[in-house]
Structure 1
């Protein structure tokens, strides 16, 4: 007579993790003084409506629209070039971070990636503005530094999760390490890497607009200038340009991701 199989051991890891997250959320609400009712007082509503009314109508003069278009192109260029530099740096750092060169380089490079992505873009921009001066160059480098840390970590995880058998098979049959990587491992991870890159490009459009506030050029610098002078119609036009630019990049990114997943 065969024995009944032993019941599987209960895994308490997931319930404990969910419980810890719930406790963290509850503690956050308990420690923060969130006066939500203050947003709905008559004084707050009147002040908000009065402030928003100052943005209408937006500035639609042709010279200003051309200036806004140039700033939008500058913001788009900052995000695209910053993302491209980050992809190159992320790929270079992802190889040792995935453990392909040993355990010691893996830990050291992952520490570098942690530092790069832990420092926000605004802090990178403030540091690089001192070295490079005002303008889009510092903003582009700030986007590249932070995004390289993010993409390097994501690329490294994708490489580690790739199936090792195809590359091992090519190596067994005499292929070199570089050829086996390009023909076996990289094709597995390339769609995922491209998806990560497109997503980070979307984020960098928004970040590039914010970086202009600290003097890194583009739409953000225009927005800061006109808000500081209380030129609300001009600021409204800049905000609309930001929204249109983000919507355009989101649509392009969505179309590219759909094409990659077919």
Structure 2
């Protein structure tokens, strides 16, 4: 290759692919993006200070933590029948809390979807869902214990209200992400609004709704295990009593029951999702 051809090659413009990559890099690094990144870093640093994050303290307290955990072993399974019965009660609480929440979340999600309902209706429904999600299940359990007394029914109601807010939000986001084509096709046939939702919206979001509901069921079993602390039934009652009496081997046995039950639920729900989705 002679000197002229080399100069021509060196002076030639980059290929379109290279130019596209360079343009993309220029778009990624902009003053606005740098400003937003700086704001995010400031928020993270401030949040870390407010949370007293300290790796040094964690390392220094590692020995105390190991010594404390050693008190839990070996687990004490002498009351395993009681723990099994309480675990079944806890799973039942999570199941009914999830079922009731899913039933109520469907109409709330439809009313909270901007692509189906007007903004004057969407805004208050979303605020209701925010309130249901923002308040922890334990607080709801305290309220329902006063209303219906001690026992698992109060726990079911607490899980139901909180989970309805969570599922309502997730369901509405799934509705807003649907393909509008099928809905417009059904609307073109002169169908009513209800028929549009039943035949155009529900079939598209049902797989996601099923996945969300199964996940919330698994999460509700974990949450139900804590509600017993306020007298809302389930294995949380035995867990709280064991903690208060410093019977850590019994606490370990209860926790193992919870781990096994959640693992079984996760396995079964995964297989069910594969069949339904």
SS at structure 2 position matched to 1:218: coil
Matched, 1:29 2:48: yes
Structure 1: where are the runs of 5+ without partners?
1-6
- Could you say if the C-alpha distance between residues 176 and 196 of structure 1 is closer, same or farther in structure 2, counting changes exceeding 3 Å? same
Q: How many residues align?
A: 251
SS at structure 2 position matched to 1:55: coil
TM-score under structure 1 normalisation? 0.86
Deviation per CA, 1:116-144, whole angstroms, max 9, x where unpaired?
A: 11111111112222212211111111111
Instruction: Please list, as runs of the form range in 1=range in 2, the aligned pairs for 1:220-239 lying within 5 A after superposition.
Output: 220-239=236-255
Give the corresponding residue for 1:92. 107
Give the corresponding residue for 1:3. none
CA RMSD of aligned residues (A): 2.3
* Equivalent position to 2:76, from 53, 59, 65: 59
Matched, 1:157 2:170: no
* Equivalent position to 1:109, from 115, 125, 129: 125
Structure 2: where are the runs of 5+ without partners?
1-22
Larger Rg computed on CA atoms: 2
SS at structure 2 position matched to 1:98: coil
Please give the alpha-carbon distance, in whole angstroms, between the structure 1 residues aligned to 2:34 and 2:253.
49
Deviation per CA, 1:134-190, whole angstroms, max 9, x where unpaired?
A: 111111111111111111111112112212221221122133332232122111111
Q: CA deviation at 1:194?
A: 1.0
Give the corresponding residue for 1:48. 65
Give the corresponding residue for 2:87. 72
Give the corresponding residue for 1:206. 222
Please give the alpha-carbon distance, in whole angstroms, between the structure 1 residues aligned to 2:92 and 2:152.
9
Please give the alpha-carbon distance, in whole angstroms, between the structure 2 residues aligned to 1:18 and 1:141.
42
- Could you say if the C-alpha distance between residues 14 and 86 of structure 1 is closer, same or farther in structure 2, counting changes exceeding 3 Å? farther
Larger mean CA deviation between 153-162 and 76-85 belongs to: 153-162
Matched, 1:187 2:206: no
TM-score under structure 2 normalisation? 0.82
